[in-house]
Amino acid sequence: MVASKKIVLYYPRNHFGKQYHPWTWAPLPILAASAPLFADGYQVALVDANVEPQPLKLLLEECQGAALLGISCMTGPQIHFGLEAAEAVRSAGLKLPMIWGGYHPSILPEQTSRNRYVDAVVRGQGELTMLELAGRISEGEDFTGVDGVTFTRDGETVSNPDRKVADINQFPRLPYEKLRNPRQYLNNMHVGSRAINYVSSQGCPARCQFCAEPLVYGRRWKAYKPDRVLADLEFLKNFLDVNGIMYFDSTYFVNERRAAEISQKMIDNGLGLGWAANARAPQLGKFSAETYNVLKKSGLWAFLVGAESGSASQLEAMQKDIGPEDILAAARAATRHGIKITYSFIVGFPGETEIEVEETWRVMEEVSKIVGEYNSQLHFYAPTPGNALYEKAAQLGLRQPQSLEEWASFSTVAGSLPWMSKSFQNRQRQREFYLVYGYPSEWVRRRASRSLLRRAYVGAASAASAARCRRHYWGLPLDWWLLRGMRAANYG
């Protein structure tokens, strides 16, 4: 008997307070999981709590008569809001099975499945498992025996065999047109005034010991073929008049030939899109001049590189398989070819010494000199489960949640780490401030031109910061206090 062909997919809010950044991203995890369902004739409701004014109300409406609710989450606030949604569904007397997927459930499937609001966990790649589950459930059958699924029943946890990671080229295009009001996901940003997020590959071949990728995709990297990427980009351009693409691939440039071919096709088809994507530093030092030229001509605005640390010993400890020299070589190569490069650096790793932190600052400054401005991002280490750095953090006193409910209140922000004091964080922000103004970026200079007061502020901050950078003197931060005060008063 066919119970229902309706499926609801929920993307919980991903921040407790203020949003991370001014942009609104399309919820790709549920969009990807929905693609084969739509293609198979299911009626799918996509509920993105990050944009809905009343997400729970909408969710309860959509769940009426549905066969299955899927909830996606990564470690962090999404667990809290996912559980809140699941509880609301049960409190409303709705009995439909609730299936959880995404990075967090994939890393801790057994623990996640033991929660009373989790009927089953889909591990890793979700498309085929979700389709099979939907088929079973909408036919009124059980999901026992579906590969890639973990569930707990009567106190016993069952982990079905892994599902082989499929070639993603066989999956239908992400159905952006099925989002509620797709236009709200267009962002005015550096790559374009109507930019949207898109993903062209899954996984990453590297083995960094703080990252979720090796755990979830086992260092496999599956990518769309160039023709597929081109067709998707053409769709986005025609459907939403998109003029910029933010690739959400964990790593886009694994295959130089593929990257160059996609770019050549973008040029040949006159797509006129600006774009940016994640790269690993060693790749960029090896690309040929032809590759750089075609990437640039196709609209590449910036390489986004996770440098993580400027300390050789920290990079080695986290098995990043790069050295500080790769970070500098990538900056030189990108700059030589006229392409921006932005780095993300992390401080506050468990066991990191003051000397290692200083080495990171040295590399950040060196990079700023090479590219002519400070456009890196400084982050504080945020622990996520299942990797060697998390184990090390646990040895240093990090509280290890023992259930999904405990994860809901686990903070990935710096303040919650026992070894990361407020004064350490302040000192790092202060150093960053000196780089921001010592090597002012285009963005900082543009802000300065907005008013006389701002110009005076930026001028004073730049002069003081440049002098400090030259002398490597960071003591007596009177300028930092004064300028911070002015910035708080909105002069900066």
Instruction: Tell me: does residue 170 bind ligand B12 (CB under 6 A).
Output: no
Rounded Cα gap, residues 328 and 323, in angstroms:
9
**27 part of the interface to ligand B12, by CB under 6 A:** yes
| 284-318 CB burial, b ≥16 within 10 A, e <16 | bbebeeebbebbeebbbbbbbbbbbbbbeebbebb
Candidates 81-89, 210-218, 286-294, 365-373: pick the segment binding ligand SF4 (CB under 6 A). Answer: 210-218
Q: Using the minimum distance from each CB to ligand SF4, give the nearer residue, 214 or 274.
A: 214
- Token pair 């801790």 is found at 108
Residue 32, interface with ligand B12 (CB under 6 A)?
Answer: yes
- Beta-carbon contacts of 445 under 8 Å, excluding residues fewer than 6 positions away, are 458
Query: Counting contacts by CB under 6 A, is residue 211 touching ligand SF4?
Result: yes
Strand order in the sheet with 244-247: 187-189, 192-198, 244-247, 274-279, 300-308, 340-347, 377-380
Q: Point out which span in 8-16, 129-137, 211-219, 357-365 binds ligand SF4 (CB under 6 A).
A: 211-219
Those residues whose C-beta lies under 8 Å from the C-beta of residue 374, and which sit 6 or more positions away, are 364, 368, 435, 436, 438, 439, 440, 441
Distance between CA atoms of 478 and 436, rounded to whole angstroms?
Answer: 17
The binding track of 376-405 with respect to ligand B12, each residue x by CB under 6 A or -, is ------x-x---------------------
b/e code 384-400 from CB counts within 10 Å (16+ = b)? bbbbebbebbeeeebee
Site string for ligand SF4, 125-154 (x = CB under 6 A): ------------------------------
Q: Which is nearer to ligand B12, 103 or 480 (CB)?
A: 103
Question: Which of 104, 163, 237, 280 is the binder for ligand SF4 (CB under 6 A)?
Answer: 280
| Residue pair 178/33 in contact by the 8 Å Cβ criterion | no
Question: By CB under 6 A, is residue 214 in contact with ligand SF4?
Answer: yes
d(C-alpha 35, C-alpha 199), whole Å:
13
Among the candidate windows 206-214, 380-388, 391-399, 427-435, which touches ligand SF4 by CB under 6 A? Answer: 206-214
Q: Of 67 and 448, which has the nearer Cβ to ligand B12?
A: 67
Query: Minimal distance in Å, beta carbon 181 to ligand B12?
Result: 15
Nearer to ligand SF4, 115 or 387 (CB): 387
C-alpha neighbours within 13 Å on the C-beta side of residue 286: 11
Of residues 206-245, which lie at the interface with ligand B12 (CB under 6 A)?
211-213
In DSSP terms, 202 is beta-bridged to 222
Q: With respect to ligand B12, which residue has the nearer C-beta, 79 or 464?
A: 79
- The interface mask with ligand SF4, positions 304-323, x = CB under 6 A, is --x-----------------
Strand order in the sheet with 149-153: 43-48, 6-11, 68-72, 98-101, 120-122, 149-153, 156-159
| Size of the residue set binding ligand SF4 (CB under 6 A) | 10
User: Of these, 36, 55, 82, 101, which contacts ligand B12 (CB under 6 A)?
Assistant: 101
14 touches ligand B12 (CB under 6 A) = yes
Q: How far is the CB of 71 from ligand SF4 (least distance, A)?
A: 24
Confirm if 292 and 318 have CB atoms less than 8 A apart: no
Please identify which residue in 208, 414, 444, 458 interacts with ligand SF4, judged by CB under 6 A. 208
Q: Give the C-alpha separation, 324 to 327, whole Å.
A: 5
CB of 74 to ligand B12, least distance (A): 3
Q: Which residues sit at the interface with ligand SF4, rule CB under 6 A?
A: 204, 206, 208, 211, 213-214, 250-251, 280, 306
Q: Which residues sit at the interface with ligand B12, rule CB under 6 A?
A: 14-15, 20, 25, 27-30, 32-33, 50, 70-72, 74-78, 99, 101-104, 107, 122, 125-127, 130, 199, 211-213, 248-250, 382, 384, 412
